[in-house]
């Protein structure tokens, strides 16, 4: 059937008639999900490795792979600035970071943040899935900005694990911007003790490795999962921390709330030698082109928030000593 014999209607009537809706749902934990109005379904492809979608919701345009939000227009800068700058500035507090490696990073937004440092001379990024990179350039072009035309940037489609293993290059910063270690997912080996031990040998003297570390929701983690943690745990934040600690002298965990992920999100920063404090605002002015204006989320106060973990998360971490190895992996929900 179809309409006929009518007249244009006003906006207020439109609302009144909203009897249907398109919705995007995503599980956060078993038994908890968020549900966002779907404003557009921009791309939906099955790559060789995963299902790739670009949708538009409350959070703006959003990249989804295998049903998990990877980053969203409204807070991708929070996710990416949090991933990149603490590691870069940690090195910068000792020596200018010049050679950088990114594992994953298909949206090119991690690369965008790295290239804000004028001291960077070479940035190598190795992502497995060309489809993701292509889709992001088409549908999320401003996330990569002028990355691909920057002569310092080198994009390799391939396996980050093999690349690191076989290359003799050393890096000032290695940034692991890869999918969560879910069962049978593509990136499990990149979260193991074995990988971190190899990666360590590819760092320069003051080099730093940082990895996104999945959800780090202190309260549900500590409360709902206070029963002995299992090998399919909703959170891998602590195991990743522990595993890095088995390979590096200093590992600093930090977290920030990413609304489009529906929870607090974790990262771990690893390097040799003792922990050292950094003066964030001063280093930003010194190293980043455009200084504070070029950052939308990160500064010294934000840094303080991220690195001050809540009591229940600290307590949960203190009693979990699991380590991820090739033979004894741990999977996220």
Q: Smallest distance from the beta carbon of 273 to a second copy, in angstroms?
A: 23
**Dihedral sign, CA of 135, 177, 66, 296?**
negative
Q: Which residue number, 162 or 205, has a Cβ lying nearer to a second copy? A: 162
Q: For a second copy, which is the closer residue by CB, 162 or 169?
A: 162
177 is catalytic: yes
**Residue 92 DSSP SS3:** helix
Residue 23 C-beta: closest distance to a second copy, Å: 4
- Distances in whole angstroms, Cα of residue 62 to Cα of each of 89, 246, 302, 312: 28, 35, 24, 31
Query: Using CA atoms, how far apart are residues 114 and 84, in angstroms rounded to an integer?
Result: 7
Catalytic residue (one of 129, 172, 177, 264): 177
Distance CA 89, CA 96 (A): 9
Between 40 and 291, name the residue whose CB sits nearer to a second copy: 40
CB within 8 Å of 276: residues ≥ 6 apart: 90, 93
Under a CB-based contact definition with an 8 Å cutoff, are residues 238 and 320 in contact?
Answer: yes
CB closer to a second copy out of 162 and 328: 162
Distances (CA, A) of 108 to 105, 132, 136, 244, 321: 6, 10, 8, 25, 34
| Minimum CB–partner distance for residue 205 and a second copy (Å) | 26
Task: Kindly state the tokens that stand for 237.
Answer: 């934040």
Longest dimension (CA), the chain: 78
Q: Smallest distance, Å, CB 206 to a second copy? A: 25
Interatomic CA distance for residues 278 and 94, integer angstroms: 10
How many angstroms separate the CA atoms of 73 and 39, rounded?
Answer: 13
* Sheet with 51-57, edge to edge strand ranges: 40-46, 51-57, 60-65, 68-72
Which residue number, 12 or 205, has a Cβ lying nearer to a second copy?
12
Residue 81 or 172 with smaller CB distance to a second copy: 81
Distance of closest approach, residue 309 Cβ to a second copy, in angstroms: 7
Least Cβ distance, residue 95 to a second copy (angstroms):
26
C-alpha radius of gyration, the chain, whole number: 21
> Which are the catalytic amino acids?
177
């Amino acid at each position: 059937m179809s309409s006929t014999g009518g007249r244009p209607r006003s906006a207020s009537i439109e609302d009144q008639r909203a009897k249907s809706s398109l919705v995007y749902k995503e599980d956060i934990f078993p038994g908890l999900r968020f549900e966002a109005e779907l404003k557009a379904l921009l791309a939906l492809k099955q790559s060789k490795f995963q299902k790739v979608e670009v949708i538009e919701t409350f959070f703006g345009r959003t990249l989804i792979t295998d049903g998990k939000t990877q980053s969203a227009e409204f807070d991708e800068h929070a996710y990416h600035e949090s991933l990149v700058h603490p590691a870069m500035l940690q090195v910068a507090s000792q020596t200018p970071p010049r050679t950088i490696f990114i594992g994953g990073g298909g949206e090119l937004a991690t690369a965008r943040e790295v290239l804000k440092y004028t001291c960077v001379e070479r940035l190598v990024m190795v992502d497995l899935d060309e489809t993701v990179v292509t889709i992001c350039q088409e549908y999320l072009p401003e996330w990569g900005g002028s990355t691909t035309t920057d002569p310092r940037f080198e994009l390799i489609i391939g396996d980050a694990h093999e690349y690191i293993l076989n290359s003799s290059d050393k890096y000032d910063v290695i940034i692991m911007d890869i999918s969560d270690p879910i069962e049978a997912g593509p990136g499990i080996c990149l979260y193991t003790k074995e990988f971190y031990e190899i990666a360590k040998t590819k760092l320069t003297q003051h080099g730093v490795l940082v990895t996104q570390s999945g959800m780090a929701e202190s309260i549900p983690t500590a409360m709902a999962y206070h029963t002995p943690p299992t090998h399919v745990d909703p959170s891998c934040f602590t195991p990743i921390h522990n595993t890095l600690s088995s390979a590096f002298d200093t590992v600093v965990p930090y977290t920030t709330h990413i609304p489009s992920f529906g929870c607090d999100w974790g990262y771990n920063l690893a390097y040799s030698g003792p922990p050292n404090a950094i003066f964030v605002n001063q280093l930003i002015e010194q190293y980043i082109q455009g200084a504070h204006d070029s950052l939308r989320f990160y500064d010294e106060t934000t840094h303080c928030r991220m690195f001050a973990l809540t009591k229940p998360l600290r307590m949960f971490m203190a009693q979990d000593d699991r380590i991820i190895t090739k033979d004894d992996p741990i999977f996220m929900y």
